Amino acid sequence: MDEEANALRDDLMYGIHELTEARPHYDQAALYYDGKVPEVFSSNRIRRALAAHNIDFDLNFAKTPVDAVTDRLEIAGVTGKDDAQTALISQIWQDNQLDLEMPDVFRRAGEFGDAYLMVLPVEDDDDKTVRVEMFYNSPQTVRIIYDEENPRRKAFTVKRWCEAKLQRAEVQYDGRTVRWTTEANASGAEPGDWKPWPADPEDPESWIIDNDWNEQPTFHFRTDRPYGTPEHYAAYGPQNAITKLQATHMGTVDSQGFPLRYALTETANTDTSDLEPGDFDDEDFPPNTNGVGPSDSGDDSSLKGGPGELLLLRGFKQVGQFDVAQPGVFLDPIQFNVRAMAVITTTPLHLFDPSGEQPSGQSVRAQDAPFTRKVTNRQLSYGATLREALTFALRRLGVPDPVVTVHWKPAETVDDAEGWATVKAKIEAGVPRRQALMEAGYRAEQVDAWLTGTDDAELQRRVDVLASLADSAQKLGAAKTLGVVTDDQVAALMSGAIDDLEALATAQETG
């Protein structure tokens, strides 16, 4: 038993080492996503001054590449091999509030590059029925260690956390879970800090919990293999530049509103020692400086520089004010860095500024093409992991041969006049109607449902109607911009047109 315990402890320490090595990268990713990365200063004096006053001018663009992908990852449905399996999946989905849990898992996977979903069977104490609990775990506390020979195979999974003054850890294998703990206030950095942690205090052997699953109940959502990279990793550099430019710009705003003024004397008399001792109070200086400024030498001048100050010199010859930095000096580089961030993170520029000038039609699709491919890749990767997790859950609930299919909403669909005109042109050129609609971004099951009982003439009519409707919406939008019609009038016109089309379609179907 000692040899086995030592081998298990070796796995624990290796897992903790890997978890500790990866933790700083995950912490950094969280700081950039939350916009809490401090400005990089070339001057220690400026750093101390801003830190003393807790000045913060967050302008966080780095989270946009993460949120942009997450917003496109919408699950349309999950089905099983038959109606019974589909109903059971639906029950698991509702019991675990996966409508809320899964978007959070996708966002965390984008934020950190990795996210873990625990799937644990739980037996009800009253009627002994089994249910499945599914919940997110952070890569800051969990890490799957992959087999060196087969990187797709999980060697084991380590989870480490704090509980009061104790360190706790669990190591999951294919057929067992091993529990560990430390004494109070132990760091857990040394093998000797860890000892077995029985699940039942009366059973000292219960620190090893055997199961018949033959697989580990932790599932890895990731942007790459074997471990992911944050979606916004390439945005760190541009965000540093934006943070510095924004903070420096804000530092010049007071001077722009209240320029520093000066007055020149005609004689050599520049006696301005009107200040009496005590004119400067301790609170005028940052904390922990004992009222002494960074440049104090004991011979303070009464000339005070700052927003709205007047440099008082006897015998005025000339007065004026110093030029201040123009906003464009800061705003133009900020715009450049946002554009650079869009390019290097494969995120459409218009997603960084939804209120700005927006491209339309084919231009949008051309710009979005690399981003759409990235979203499609995430759907493939995340979908495979979710399918694996739900298959494991169904097995634990007694389903012998589960089959799970994850259906995604399209990463991109045609919804503008130019796009529908392209669909129409494809069909007229001989492209099969099903293929043309699928190339427009619609799911196969959607297209099949639309085409059931629909002949070519009816399909062509529907495409023509959609193209005309999209064209009308585009033209009404232009008219609203010119002030010809109001928002309410546009909404009323479009609503009436859609109602008429729906009534016509209903009449044709029933007729």
- For 206-222, the pLDDT digits (tens) are 999 999 999 999 999 99
**In this model, does residue 199 exceed pLDDT 90?**
yes
Can you give the pLDDT at residue 285?
47
Instruction: State the pLDDT at residue 142.
Output: 98
Q: pLDDT confidence of 355, banded at 50, 70, 90? A: low
Is 291 a residue whose pLDDT tops 50?
no
59 pLDDT more than 80: yes
Query: Residue 64 and residue 72: Cα distance in Å, rounded?
Result: 12
pLDDT band at 279 (very low <50, low <70, confident <90, very high): very low
CB neighbour list of residue 210: distance below 8 Å, 6 or more residues apart: 175, 176
pLDDT at 336 over 80: yes
Question: Which residues lie below 8 Å from residue 168, measured CB to CB, with a gap of 6+?
Answer: 160, 161, 162, 179, 180, 181, 182, 197
Across 343-356, average pLDDT:
83
Distances (CA, A) of 338 to 57, 240, 355, 442, 460: 17, 11, 15, 32, 43
Q: What is the model's pLDDT at position 128?
A: 74
| Least confident window among 29-38, 144-153, 245-254, 270-279 | 270-279
Checking if the pLDDT of 452 tops 60, the result is: yes
pLDDT, averaged across the chain: 82
Task: Name the more confident of 194 and 247.
Answer: 194
pLDDT, position 144:
98
Cβ(131)–Cβ(119) below 8 Å: no
Q: Supply 310's token pair.
A: 């007047």
pLDDT > 50? residue 233: yes
For residue 283, count other CB atoms closer than 10 A to its CB.
Answer: 8
Give 474's strand partners.
none
> What pTM does this model have?
0.73
Q: Over 70: is that where the pLDDT of 88 sits?
A: yes
End-to-end CA distance of the chain: 80
Residue 219's pLDDT is 98
Q: Does residue 416 have a pLDDT over 90?
A: no
Least confident of 21-35, 139-153, 329-343: 329-343
Q: Quick check: 362 pLDDT over 80?
A: no
User: Given a cut of 70, is residue 52 above it in pLDDT?
Assistant: no
- 100-128 per-position pLDDT tens digit: 999 999 999 999 999 999 999 998 877 77
Q: DSSP for 321-354?
A: E-----THHHHHHHHHHHHHHHHHTT--GGGT-T
Q: By mean pLDDT, which of 29-43, 132-146, 427-441 is the weakest? A: 427-441
55-64, 194-203, 261-270, 440-449: least confident range: 261-270
Indicate if the pLDDT at residue 275 is higher than 50: no
CA distance 240 to 217: 39
What was the pLDDT predicted at 147? 96
Query: What is the predicted pLDDT for the residue at 507?
Result: 59
Per-residue pLDDT, 322: 77
Neighbours of 41 (CB within 10 A): 16
Give 128-131's long-range contacts (Cβ < 8 A, gap of 24+).
Answer: 130/396, 130/397, 130/398, 131/95, 131/397
**Which pLDDT value is given to residue 324?**
74
pLDDT at 90: 96
Binned at pLDDT 50, 70 and 90, residue 423 comes out as confident
Q: What's the confidence (pLDDT) of residue 104?
A: 97
- In sequence order, what DSSP letters do the residues of 291-307 get, joined into one string? T--TT--S---S---ST
Q: pLDDT band for position 54 (50/70/90)?
A: low
The pLDDT assigned to 250 comes to 72
Q: Where are the domains of the chain?
A: 1-74+100-257+322-365, 415-511
Structure tokens at 59: 């302008």
459-500 tens-digit pLDDT: 666 666 766 777 777 777 777 777 777 877 877 777 776 666
What is the pLDDT averaged over residues 59-80? 94
Higher pLDDT, 283 or 504: 504
pLDDT higher than threshold 50 for residue 299: no
| CA nearest to 133, candidates 503, 406, 435, 396 | 396
Judge whether 171 and 208 are in contact, CB under 8 Å.
no
Q: Please state the separation of Cα 103 from the chain's center in Å.
A: 10
pLDDT level of residue 327 (50, 70, 90 thresholds): confident
**pLDDT in the model for residue 265:** 65
Q: Which residue has the higher pLDDT, 335 or 44?
A: 335
What's the average model confidence in pLDDT over 169-196?
95
